[in-house]
């Protein structure tokens, strides 16, 4: 029963990935006022809630990435190899991203990669560090650049923690997670209340506008996931405490987030006259996303876990990376088809259908084979590295 519960928890996380990528797709569908997707309260609600999808992805990333490290720290075991960790992350992110970048540049007119320098900048996810390049190429590429920076930071954290005594690693973990949770608010406070946003530049090529697409602005999302991973390891139990109230708590949480969205509480960084909204923008999203993950991981919302664990819905979560990469470019191309100008629903169905087909192709032909190959290679290397023991002759 415990193994079945664990399987459902992991499946529900795939289901949550499906929810997150659906929110992101709705967000970009709502950006085409020519088709009236963003008109009215419903369109504005979908547009706002779509931004929550990115936060859910990052909280999930922090949880999944830190979970094996938290387990090793709690058990006093050797930490995962930073080299193997980074290789897996590089293989997970870059091959499918490169294919999508080339494909969208070839077929989408507004990818705006007009030079070799721009192409290389985006190919290595450096666009967040070059002014004016952030939203070219693959539109969501800026979030992948933040993810890669987080992965590199985790690799550094593993190296540093491996040099700390086993007894002090739990304290080091608490300090790291607390720093990640609190650091963005110092950045936002300085940026929003103690600076002239129109005049400040940081460095030669990185303007103040680039800060919201850099890791320091987002570490609380990853830190929330890391905190959940540490708590999951510490308080792991097969019992379902409070399961009768979990679904109610989840509904209240989602309803509260919906209410906040309808009030327009989520301000963007550059919202005119809305510094307070911009400052509190992320905390509300992070708490909401972390609360949802906590209820699912802790199996405190059994009905929600079962719903999110439906195989076909989990499959959308499995191929969600391809959907994330391709959806915006496909939506833009379908939006340009003049024969579909008179319809609102048909272009959406065609764009979503094409996105799912391309994403599934990417998963089965590129992503999964490469990930399986890396796992087999690392598993074989681990077996080879194990010291050979010579049996002692038994005393007779």
Instruction: Indicate the Cα dihedral angle 82, 68, 169, 143, nearest 10°.
Output: 60
Tell whether the torsion through CA atoms of 343, 347, 349 and 350 is positive or negative: positive
Percent of the chain clearing pLDDT 90 (strictly above): 36
**CB proximity list for 184: less than 8 A, separation 6 or greater:** 216, 217, 218, 219, 220, 282
pLDDT of residue 258: 57
CB 23 within 8 A of CB 49: yes
Q: What is the pLDDT of residues 28-74, one digit of tens each?
A: 887 664 555 545 555 556 666 667 888 889 999 999 999 999 999 99
Distance CA 188, CA 200 (A): 14
CB 44 within 8 A of CB 74: no
Q: Which of 111-115, 244-248, 288-292, 319-323 has the highest mean pLDDT?
A: 319-323
Q: What is the pLDDT of residues 166-219, one digit of tens each?
A: 999 999 999 999 999 888 888 777 766 655 554 444 444 444 445 567 777 888
Q: What is the pLDDT of residues 89-117, one digit of tens each?
A: 999 999 999 999 999 888 776 556 777 88
Q: What is the DSSP string of 131-186?
A: TT-TTSSSTTHHHHHHHHHHHHHHHHHHHHHHTS-GGGHHHHHHHHHHHHHHHHHH
Q: What is the pLDDT of residues 289-303, one digit of tens each?
A: 777 777 777 656 677
Percent of the chain clearing pLDDT 70 (strictly above): 68
pLDDT of residue 93: 96
Residue in the structure block whose two tokens are 């928890």: 9
Q: Is the pLDDT of residue 347 over 70?
A: yes
Residue 146: closest CA among 101, 180, 169: 180
Distance CA 259, CA 263 (A): 6
Altogether, the residues listed in the chain come to a count of 396
């Amino acid at each position: 029963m415990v193994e079945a519960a664990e399987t459902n928890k992991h499946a529900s996380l795939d289901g949550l990935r499906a929810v997150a990528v659906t929110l992101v797709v709705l967000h970009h569908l709502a950006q085409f006022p020519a088709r009236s997707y963003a008109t009215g309260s419903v369109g504005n609600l979908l547009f706002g809630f779509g931004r929550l999808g990115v936060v859910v992805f990052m909280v999930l990333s922090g949880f999944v990435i830190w979970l094996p490290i938290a387990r090793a720290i709690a058990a006093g075991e050797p930490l995962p190899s930073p080299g193997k960790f980074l290789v897996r992350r590089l293989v997970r992110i870059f091959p499918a991203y490169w294919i999508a970048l080339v494909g969208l540049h070839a077929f989408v007119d507004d990818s705006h990669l007009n030079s070799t320098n721009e192409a290389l900048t985006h190919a290595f996810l450096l666009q967040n560090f070059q002014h004016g390049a952030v939203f070219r190429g693959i539109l969501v590429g800026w979030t992948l650049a933040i993810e890669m920076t987080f992965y590199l930071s985790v690799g550094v954290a593993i190296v540093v923690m491996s040099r700390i005594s086993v007894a002090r690693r739990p304290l080091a973990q608490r300090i790291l997670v607390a720093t990640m949770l609190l650091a963005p608010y110092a950045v936002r406070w300085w940026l929003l209340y103690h600076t002239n946003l129109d005049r400040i530049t940081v460095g030669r090529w990185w303007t103040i506008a680039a800060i919201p697409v850099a890791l320091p602005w987002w570490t609380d999302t990853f830190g929330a996931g890391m905190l959940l991973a540490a708590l999951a390891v510490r308080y792991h139990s097969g019992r379902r405490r409070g399961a009768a109230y979990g679904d109610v708590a989840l509904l209240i949480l989602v309803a509260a987030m919906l209410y906040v969205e309808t009030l327009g509480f989520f301000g963007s960084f550059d919202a005119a006259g809305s510094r307070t909204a911009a400052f509190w923008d992320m905390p509300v999203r992070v708490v909401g996303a972390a609360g949802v993950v906590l209820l699912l991981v802790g199996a405190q919302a059994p009905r929600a876990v079962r719903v999110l664990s439906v195989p076909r819905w989990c499959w959308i979560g499995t191929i969600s990376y391809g959907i994330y990469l391709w959806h915006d470019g496909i939506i833009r191309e379908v939006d340009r088809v003049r024969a579909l100008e008179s319809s609102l629903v048909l272009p959406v169905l065609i764009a979503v259908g094409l996105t799912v087909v391309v994403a599934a192709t990417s998963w089965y032909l590129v992503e999964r084979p490469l990930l399986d190959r890396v796992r087999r290679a690392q598993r074989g290397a681990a077996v080879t590295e194990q010291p050979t023991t010579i049996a002692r002759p038994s005393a007779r």
